[in-house]
Each structure stands twice: as structure tokens, then as C-alpha cells.
């Protein structure tokens, strides 16, 4: 068993990484045995910040979330990014969209391991979402 010296909570801290704006197209909703299947196409978007600048490649993906019986959406959004230096970046997110306005996501990235963005391949990040007029603004933080 762990001794008492192990029992103090290890600290965890976040560092602002970048901000992504997403523009959604018209959403579709299907009633399926697994809940309400959302299809919300991501039309375009921009990325700015200290750790990444670039854009969302237009019409490369969507949120394919599921609305549960308690009204919470299990978000599952995947699409392609392109950094300003031309590097292709695949991202998939999971997270929650709650009726009280809580939007929090965790992204997982696939990037060329020889690129300057390879840190995204093995770093945990978290994003908070705020609705915008035509989509979402996501603020990403790296877990240090």
C-alpha cells in the first residue's frame, strides 16, 4: 500500500496554447438507439496563439456528437488543420456540451513527428468553448 508521503495530491497546471475559431454549417440530428446523433459540419476556422497559428482546412470534418438521455452532448469532433508553415495536423476531440453552457474538450492530435508541431503528438491539452455567432471559439491549454 502507498505510504503517507504518497498521499499529497500531485499538482497540475495549465498553460495557454492557442485559440481556434470554428464556423459550423447547418447541423443535422438523427434519433438512433445510441441517442441523438449530431452532425455539425465544420466549414472553416482560424488558429492564433503562442504555440500554433494556422487554419482549419475547410470542410474536412465535423462534430459527430451524441446527445444523451440526460441532455448532455458527448462531443466527438474531428477535422484537419494546417499550420502557417504548411504542416498538416489531424485532430479529434471528445468532451461535453452541457445545457448550463459548460463546453470542455480534450483534443488528441496526429502530426508529422519531424515537424515543429510534433509536441502535439504526446501532450495532453484541454479546451474551453464559448459559443460565437456562427460557431464556437475554443481556447486551448497545454497540461504542463
Partner 1 sequence: MPANPPGLELAYAFSVSIFFKERLRIDSPRGRVFVPAASGEVWGPRLQGKVVPRSGADYAAGGQLDAHYMLEASDGSPIYIHNRGYLRPHDGVARPDVPMTSNSGPWLADMPLYFRLAPTFDAPEGPHDWLTRSVILGTGKRYGNPDHTIFTYYEVL
> Contact residues for partner 1 (CB under 8 A)?
1-2, 6-7, 9-14, 16, 18-19, 48-50, 70, 72, 94-96, 98, 102, 104-106, 108, 121-124, 126, 128, 130, 139, 141, 143
CB of 26 to partner 1, least distance (A): 26
- Of 62 and 138, nearer to partner 1 (C-beta) is 138
- Of 9 and 33, nearer to partner 1 (C-beta) is 9
- Of 12 and 114, nearer to partner 1 (C-beta) is 12
Q: How far apart are CA 57 and CA 119, in angstroms?
A: 20
Amino acid at each position: 500500500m502507498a505510504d503517507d508521503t504518497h498521499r499529497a495530491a500531485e499538482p497540475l497546471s495549465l498553460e495557454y496554447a492557442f485559440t481556434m475559431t470554428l464556423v459550423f454549417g447547418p447541423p443535422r440530428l438523427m434519433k438512433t438507439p445510441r441517442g441523438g446523433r449530431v452532425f455539425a459540419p465544420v466549414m472553416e476556422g482560424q488558429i492564433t496563439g503562442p504555440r500554433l497559428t494556422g487554419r482549419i482546412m475547410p470542410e474536412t470534418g465535423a462534430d459527430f456528437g451524441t446527445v444523451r438521455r440526460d441532455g448532455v452532448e458527448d462531443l466527438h469532433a474531428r477535422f484537419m488543420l494546417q499550420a502557417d508553415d504548411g504542416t498538416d495536423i489531424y485532430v479529434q476531440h471528445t468532451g461535453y456540451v452541457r445545457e448550463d453552457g459548460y463546453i470542455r474538450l480534450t483534443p488528441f492530435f496526429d502530426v508529422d513527428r519531424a515537424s515543429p508541431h510534433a509536441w502535439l503528438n504526446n501532450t495532453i491539452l484541454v479546451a474551453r468553448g464559448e459559443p460565437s455567432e456562427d460557431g464556437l471559439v475554443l481556447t486551448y491549454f497545454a497540461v504542463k
